[in-house]
Amino acid sequence: MWQCSQQHENKDEAKFCGKCGEKRETRVSCPACGTKLEPDDVFCTSCGQPRKVEPAPAPVPVVAEPPPTPVAPPASPVVEPPPAAEEPVTFSFGGAKIAMIDAKSPPPAKAATVARSGGMSPMLSAILGFVLIGAVLGLAFYLVTH
């Protein structure tokens, strides 16, 4: 096993470090006696002669650039269209008109209500009609029974 300068363990037959990619130095001979030396030997193992070791170049640190900050588009005001004016559903009952409107929509502008019966509202006209019919039927019943 051999270690690279970063202290990663590698197989003896490996030519490059499997972790950092550093090339394995080949064995060199001692300048004094010619003994084969390991790459990390500083002195000869046979004669003790110091080996001229050139320092390995320091790895250049890779500095990652920060990602660009996203720029949000300027916020535009949200303008909602006015609600569509819906016609109310109307029903007629007697002389009265009943309008069914949506509770969320604003009430329609009231027109001047001039009923056919002398300026009374249609609701009041219907109520008075029922009262008058009841009175006539009551009078007829009274006359028939006495």
In one-letter notation, the amino acid at residue 137 is L
Residue 72: what pLDDT?
72
Task: State the Cα–Cα distance between residues 17 and 9, nearest whole angstrom.
Answer: 8
- Residue 117's pLDDT band (boundaries 50, 70, 90)? very low
- How do the domains of the chain map onto residue ranges? 1-54, 116-146
Tens-place pLDDT, residues 67-113: 777 777 776 666 666 666 566 667 676 777 777 666 666 665 665 55
First to last CA, the chain: 132
Q: Which residues of 77-96 are buried (b: 16+ CB within 10 A; e: fewer)?
A: eeeeeeeeeeeeeeeeeebb
Residue 143: what pLDDT?
93
Q: How far is CA 38 from CA 15, 35, 45, 55, in A?
A: 14, 10, 9, 15
Residue 142: what pLDDT?
93
Tokens of 117: 């019966």
pTM of the model: 0.23
